[in-house]
Amino acid sequence: MTRAKTPNFDPTAFRAALGQFATGVTVITTRTDSGQLIGITASSFNSVSLDPPLVLWSLSTRSASMPVFRSNSHYVVNVLAASQIDLCRRFATVKGDRFAGVSHAAGDTGMPVLDGALAWFECHNRSRYDEGDHVIFVGEVERCGVRENASEVAPLVFQAGGFHTIGPLE
């Protein structure tokens, strides 16, 4: 296999190009053995496999939550509705207890599922891949669900550094 050429762009240009790809927004949540609740906002979520059911997301090596996500056996991917933009900001910025005042319930795996999430995936922490300045997490989905009336609820969308929502094209 040949090696990649040295990039002819700077990190700002790379970010600008990546940002054109519109994504949903998730909060990845977990609970440590000692009962501490941890969560981070992530837009890097994607599907991997239907059989077995696998999903992925990636976490910066600079994340303070890295040790917990590396070692915990389970986590939940919570897909946010547009009305949950405050949760998106909260789980990206707050230092300390991000769950203070946030309603949630334990899923079948015991991990926290955020009330009002459009959909959720309770994952076994199947594998991790160190790549550059992020770690790719592959989760094996043990349980998943969709919010009641989800088809009537607007999703939160992130694109070009801004928050949006979507409606049908036709």
Ligand X SMILES: Cc1cc2nc3c(=O)[nH]c(=O)nc-3n(C[C@H](O)[C@H](O)[C@H](O)COP(=O)(O)O)c2cc1C
Q: How many residues bind ligand X (CB under 6 A)?
A: 15
| Residue 7 DSSP one-character state | P
Minimum distance from residue 6 beta carbon to ligand X (Å):
25
Measured distance CA(72)–CA(139) in Å, rounded: 12
Return the amino acid letter for 55: V
| Cβ nearer to ligand X, comparing 6 with 20 | 20
Looking at residue 133, what DSSP letter applies? T
Interior CA angle at 40 toward 138 and 141, to 5°?
A: 30
Shortest Å distance, C-beta 88 to ligand X: 6
Among 29, 40, 78, 107, binds ligand X (CB under 6 A): 40
CB of residue 112 vs ligand X: minimum separation in angstroms? 15
Q: Quick check: 92 binds ligand X (CB under 6 A)?
A: yes
Query: Can you tell me which of 55, 59, 111, 114 binds ligand X, judged by CB under 6 A?
Result: 59
Q: Please state, as a whole number, how many other Cβ atoms lie within 10 Å of the Cβ of residue 23.
A: 16
Q: Write the CB contacts of 131 (distance below 8 Å, at least 6 apart in sequence).
A: 58
Q: 99 and 113 in contact (C-beta within 8 Å)?
A: no
- Report the alpha-carbon distance of residue 133 to residue 1 in Å, rounded: 23
Is residue 41 a contact residue for ligand X (CB under 6 A)?
yes
Q: Which residue has the tokens 């207890």?
A: 97
Q: Does 78 bind ligand X (CB under 6 A)?
A: no
Q: Is 159 in the site for ligand X (CB under 6 A)?
A: no
Residue 43 CB, nearest distance to ligand X (Å)?
4
Q: Quick one: which of 30, 43, 78, 109 contacts ligand X (CB under 6 A)?
A: 43
Question: If binding is defined by CB under 6 A, does position 18 make contact with ligand X?
Answer: no
Q: To the nearest whole angstrom, how small is the minimum distance from the Cβ of residue 20 to ligand X?
A: 14
Distance between CA 44 and CA 135 in Å, rounded? Answer: 11
Binding site for ligand X (CB under 6 A): 25, 40-44, 58-60, 63-65, 88, 92, 158
